[in-house]
């Protein structure tokens, strides 16, 4: 990972245009090619970013990041405060909580819950940026990547988006469709998933375990 602290301006052109005026920011370049620009605030979310795969070029005035769709992120460097490289090694991935892990087990045992004729290819299918929860095939032979969360939020959709970018590079798998699964999915996550042509599905934990719903009682 390369970390650069610099006074810079940033301009994005693509689905819309955006401009960040001159200020000192952190520019992060990950090993997979993802580029993100952070301010000293705003928690984890970058001010602007470009997901991999992309092309990063340098000139005397700054950097240009170009996506396969023609989007560009231009970072004009005015002054470099710090520039360092760090080898983080291979990350073991997120350790899931009990409910999330059990959801994965249950859906792996009954993939047809996700669609008629769906069959499991492998649990924890490996990619360069971490394992996909489930890799499945439809009855028609379409490859489906399934990301499972207890609570479905925007972060989970972003994670599945990154997995799909990597999986679709494999000619033996592509085209790969994504399905985002959770017990509860936030409205913003549903909108983001739909905008990226990712299906989403809400599942009932007790129903998957075969527990009958309790009968309503008046007293």
Boundaries of every domain in the chain: 2-85, 98-208
* CB-based contact 93:130 (threshold 8 Å): yes
**Long-range CB contacts (within 8 A, 24+) of 209-215:** 209/106
CA 132 to chain centre: 11
CATH topology of domain 98-208: Trna Endonuclease; Chain: A, domain 1 (3.40.1350)
pLDDT at 218 over 50: no
Across residues 145-160, what is the average pLDDT?
A: 93
Across residues 100-111, what is the average pLDDT?
A: 89
Instruction: Please give the pLDDT value at position 216.
Output: 45
- For residues 212 and 55, the model is more confident at 55
Q: In sequence order, what E strands does the chain have?
A: 2-13, 17-29, 35-38, 48-50, 55-58, 62-66, 72-85, 119-125, 132-137, 143-152, 176-185, 199-202
**Architecture of domain 2-85 in this structure:** Distorted Sandwich (2.70)
When pLDDT is cut at 50, 70 and 90, the band that residue 145 belongs to is very high
* CB-based contact 38:48 (threshold 8 Å): no
Read off the pTM: 0.56
Across residues 179-189, what is the average pLDDT?
A: 93
Instruction: Please give the pLDDT value at position 132.
Output: 93
Q: Which of 53, 75, 76, 69 is nearest to 14 (CA)?
A: 69
* CB-based contact 1:31 (threshold 8 Å): yes
% the chain with pLDDT above 70: 91
Instruction: Please give the pLDDT value at position 91.
Output: 64
pLDDT at 219 over 60: no
pLDDT at 17 over 80: yes
When pLDDT is cut at 50, 70 and 90, the band that residue 93 belongs to is low
pLDDT at 56 over 90: yes
> Which phi and psi angles does 55 have, rounded to 5°?
-120, 125
């Amino acid at each position: 990972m390369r970390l650069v602290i610099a006074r810079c301006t940033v301009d994005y052109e693509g689905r819309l245009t955006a401009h960040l005026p001159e200020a000192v920011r952190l520019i992060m370049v990950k090993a997979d090619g993802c580029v993100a620009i952070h301010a000293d605030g705003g928690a984890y979310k970058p001010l602007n970013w470009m997901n991999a795969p992309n092309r990063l070029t340098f000139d005397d005035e700054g950097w240009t990041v170009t996506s396969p769709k023609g989007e560009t992120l231009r970072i004009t460097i005015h002054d470099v405060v710090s520039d360092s490289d760090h080898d983080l090694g291979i990350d073991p991935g997120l350790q899931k909580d009990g409910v999330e892990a059990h959801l994965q087990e249950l859906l792996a045992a009954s993939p047809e819950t996700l669609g008629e004729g769906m069959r499991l290819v492998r649990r924890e299918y490996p990619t360069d940026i971490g394992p996909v929860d489930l890799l499945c095939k439809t009855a028609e032979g379409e490859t489906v990547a399934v990301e499972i969360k207890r609570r479905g939020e925007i972060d989970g959709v972003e994670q599945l988006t990154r997995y799909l970018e990597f999986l679709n590079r494999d000619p033996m798998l592509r085209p790969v469709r994504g399905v985002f699964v959770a017990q509860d999915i936030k409205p913003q996550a549903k909108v983001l998933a739909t905008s990226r042509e990712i299906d989403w599905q809400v599942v009932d934990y007790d129903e998957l375990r075969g527990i009958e719903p309790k009968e309503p009682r008046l007293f």
